[in-house]
Copies of this chain bind each other. A is one copy, B any other.
Amino acid sequence: MTVEESREREVLDRIERARRRRPRVREERITLAHGAGGKATHALIDAVFLEAFRNPALEALADGAAVRAGGTRLAFTTDSYVVSPLFFPGGDIGDLAVNGTVNDLAVCGARPLYLSAAFVVEEGFPVEDLRRIADSMGAAARAAGVEVVTGDTKVVQRGKGDGCYVTTAGIGVLERPAELSATQVRPGDAVLVSGPVGDHGVTIMLARGGLDIEANLVSDTAPLHGLAGALLDAAPGARVLRDATRGGVATVLNEIATTAEAGVVIDEAAVPVRPEVAGAGELLGIDPLYVACEGRLVAVVPGEQSAVALAALHAHPLGAGAAVIGEVRADPPGLVLARTAFGGTRIVDLLVGDPLPRIC
């Protein structure tokens, strides 16, 4: 066995052990929790999709797959967007779909190049709204420097959809030597976020109405490849990047802790949260750590690169609110802990479902 093979073996073993620790699908029917990004989603993916598709690229279960085509190393990713409402302060399903896929490529360490866009539209949907969504996608693509080069449109009968669902896939080119993966995370590493958490999720919740809260809040949807590039230039030893979408920062940190077989300890007071988000969270009993962002990086870097990484984030317009929020420890493996403001420690567990369905 070569060094490379034995390293690949070790990574696969670690992934396999992480899988075994995960819950099983007990339900006979799909529930909203299966789409929430938490425990139920993980169990479904393990039991249904990993079994069916088995291959190392998929089993890494990152935001995208690292693959090779011809002589080129590519990142490849996809996401369906079912956000409700379709239009919300700060964005809409169109720029969300473009930025989301750009970000999945960015956190693979790739330079995003091309997107596909597939639409499932409900009969009766206003053509003008579809145009608005497409225009917003076009503008977001131009802003991110990518091209939407291929697409598809399907129409389903009234009552078989919800206006418009969008699925984007993206290709980026992997030009950096470093492999970004939670398997690279080591005790002593620092955990950073690039800005205040939970803006997107709380914005969506408020846009749905029904809550008597007024807040001057907009979605954080943004393309993160520039920010990710700046971070990787400054901290070339970076272990893993993630965008904290469905399930929020808490879910991302749990996935990292599980795969890395390490403990992640965060300092609750260090996590940047806007007062509006904290307020809405308190009213609704939702911890902002679990609320989706659509333009926030979570980064794990070696402890000694923590300061340069933070400086690089601060120097970028999208990282002005960045902070070091915690560190990686050997123990307890697979768990995320938060030091509370009162000096205590609590477990930040993976939720089964999500209090906020269809957030993206």
CB atoms of B157 and A32 under 8 A apart: yes
CB atoms of B125 and A35 under 8 A apart: no
Q: Give the number of times this chain occurs in the complex, counting copies.
A: 2
CA distance A210 to B31 in the complex (A): 31
- Minimum CB–CB distance from A202 to chain B (whole Å) comes to 20
Q: Contact partner of A137 among B53, B131, B137, CB < 8 A? A: B53
Q: Is A141 an interface residue (CB 8 A)?
A: yes
With A29-B127, A72-B72, A151-B58 as known contacts, state yes or no: A134 contacts B78, CB within 8 Å.
no
Across the interface, which residues of B come within 8 angstroms of A44, CB to CB?
127, 130, 153
CB atoms of A64 and B150 under 8 A apart: yes
Across the interface, which residues of B come within 8 angstroms of A64, CB to CB?
150
Q: Is A267 an interface residue (CB 8 A)?
A: no
Across the interface, which residues of B come within 8 angstroms of A67, CB to CB?
113-114, 149, 171
CB atoms of B173 and A80 under 8 A apart: no
With A74-B171, A125-B30, A165-B120 as known contacts, state yes or no: A154 contacts B82, CB within 8 Å.
yes
Q: Is A25 an interface residue (CB 8 A)?
A: yes
> Which chain A residues numbered 93 to 132 have a C-beta less than 8 Å away from chain B?
113-114, 116-128, 130-131
- Minimum CB–CB distance from A171 to chain B (whole Å) comes to 6
CA distance A54 to B141 in the complex (A): 11
CB atoms of A28 and B128 under 8 A apart: yes
A-B contact pairs, 26 of them (CB 8 A): A30-B124, A34-B155, A35-B154, A35-B155, A36-B155, A41-B153, A47-B131, A49-B117, A52-B135, A53-B134, A54-B138, A55-B148, A57-B147, A58-B148, A65-B149, A67-B113, A72-B72, A76-B150, A78-B118, A78-B150, A79-B152, A80-B153, A118-B169, A156-B165, A157-B357, A160-B161
Across the interface, which residues of B come within 8 angstroms of A126, CB to CB?
28-30
CB atoms of A71 and B69 under 8 A apart: no
CA distance A181 to B167 in the complex (A): 26
CA distance A73 to B82 in the complex (A): 32
Instruction: For chain A, give the interface size range.
Output: 35 or more
With A131-B48, A159-B159, A358-B156 as known contacts, state yes or no: A78 contacts B169, CB within 8 Å.
yes
Q: Is A162 an interface residue (CB 8 A)?
A: yes
Q: Is A205 an interface residue (CB 8 A)?
A: no
Q: Contact partner of A156 among B147, B149, B162, CB < 8 A? A: B162
Q: Is the interface of A mostly helix, strand, loop or mixed?
A: mixed
- Minimum CB–CB distance from A105 to chain B (whole Å) comes to 11
Q: Is A12 an interface residue (CB 8 A)?
A: no
With A80-B152, A80-B154 as known contacts, state yes or no: A147 contacts B58, CB within 8 Å.
yes
CB atoms of A119 and B80 under 8 A apart: yes
CA distance A128 to B48 in the complex (A): 9
Most B CB contacts (10 A, CB to CB) among A30, A48, A65, A173 go to A30
> Which chain A residues numbered 272 to 293 have a C-beta less than 8 Å away from chain B?
none
CB atoms of B357 and A155 under 8 A apart: yes
CA distance A54 to B120 in the complex (A): 21
CB atoms of B72 and A30 under 8 A apart: no
Q: Is A27 an interface residue (CB 8 A)?
A: yes
Across the interface, which residues of B come within 8 angstroms of A57, CB to CB?
114, 147, 149-150
Across the interface, which residues of B come within 8 angstroms of A311, CB to CB?
none
CA distance A117 to B79 in the complex (A): 9
CB atoms of B30 and A127 under 8 A apart: yes
CA distance A51 to B31 in the complex (A): 38
Nearest CB in chain B to that of A54: its residue: B138
Across the interface, which residues of B come within 8 angstroms of A152, CB to CB?
78-80, 167
